[in-house]
Amino acid sequence: MTDQRGQSELRVAIAGLGSIGTKIATALDHGIEGLALSAVAVRDPAKHQAFLDGLNRPPQVLSLDQLGDAADIVVECAPSSQLRAIVEPAVKRGKAAVVVSVGGLLDNFDLVDLARANGGRILVPTGALIGLDAVNAAAVGTIHSVKMVTRKPIDGLKGAPFIVQNNIDIDNLREPLKLFEGTAREAAKGFPANLNVAVALSLAGVGPDRTMVQIWADPTVTRNVHRIEVEADSARFSMSIENIPSDNPKTGLITALSVIALLRKQRATLCVGT
């Protein structure tokens, strides 16, 4: 199908139909200007059959490595352990990969070179965070420091490797406990399913080794709270966001919406924000 500008519809594939992936699939099925859902990859097809049958235009169900053939944009919404298996075949074929498990990108950064060599692209949405447009803009000048403080309810942190390895009991907390203070790179290792936002912030700004992060387990909050402070030669800004957890308590509801907003921009006539 072509639009009024003679452009053909962009085909989108989704890898992983969990809390984020199903919302993006539904939005595409309901209609995003110039885009169509062409394929999905799931771990257990039987589990998702009823959902897929309920879509107006059910996509093909393919393996992870086939998505780059069936789509122009492959959206990664799976655990970070699958990042390479999803992104590599797509960018090798010169396609775009939208990455939500952005923490996993740090250990697979050669994928950026691979994309560059093959005309592919890697797009990181703002996700569960706020204000990466301002951080991007400030980074065109000089950023002196970026600090982030994350507070999450206990369920949003349970099972994180840093907590398990250090035998920290967070189940019986009555007061906020600072679990971690360090760089975004270290945070991504210790909290791979909880701190993607810190890595996205670092890639927008001063990188994973200069972006400083605190992580608190906080039994007094019901939302995933992120506060950012940036000091730059163009501006000083503080931003905070209080995310309502989705059916996956580690994942804020706004994350899927951020990806949908990014997808809308791919073919929108009016684009607002960088």
Ligand X SMILES: O=C([O-])CC(=O)C(=O)O
User: What's the CA gap between 64 and 17, in Å, rounded?
Assistant: 12
Please give the residues from 106 up to 125 whose contact with ligand X meets the rule CB under 6 A: none
Q: Which residue has the CB atom at the shortest distance from ligand X?
A: 252
Q: Which stretch binds ligand X (CB under 6 A): 1-9, 18-26, 73-81, 195-203?
A: 195-203
- Of 150 and 266, which CB lies nearer to ligand NAI in the complex structure? 150
Is residue 80 involved in binding ligand X (CB under 6 A)? no
Residue 232: contacted member of ligand X, ligand NAI, none (CB under 5 to 8 Å, by partner type): none
- 128 labelled binding-site residue: yes
Alpha-carbon radius of gyration of the chain: 19
Q: Compute the least distance from the CB of residue 140 to ligand NAI, in Å.
A: 23
Alpha helices in the chain (DSSP H): 19-30, 45-53, 67-70, 83-92, 110-118, 132-140, 161-165, 184-190, 196-204, 254-265
Closest by CA to 150, choosing from 82, 94, 218, 219, is 218
Active-site position among 30, 48, 144, 226: 226
Is residue 101 within 8 Å of residue 81, measured between CB atoms? no
226 is catalytic: yes
User: Which amino acid, residue 119?
Assistant: G
User: What's the CA gap between 223 and 241, in Å, rounded?
Assistant: 9
Residue 23: contacted member of ligand NAI, ligand X, none (CB under 5 to 8 Å, by partner type): none
Residue 202: contacted member of ligand NAI, ligand X, none (CB under 5 to 8 Å, by partner type): none
- Of 15 and 34, which CB lies nearer to ligand NAI in the complex structure? 15
**Residue list, annotated binding site for NAD(+):** 128, 196
The catalytic residue positions are: 226
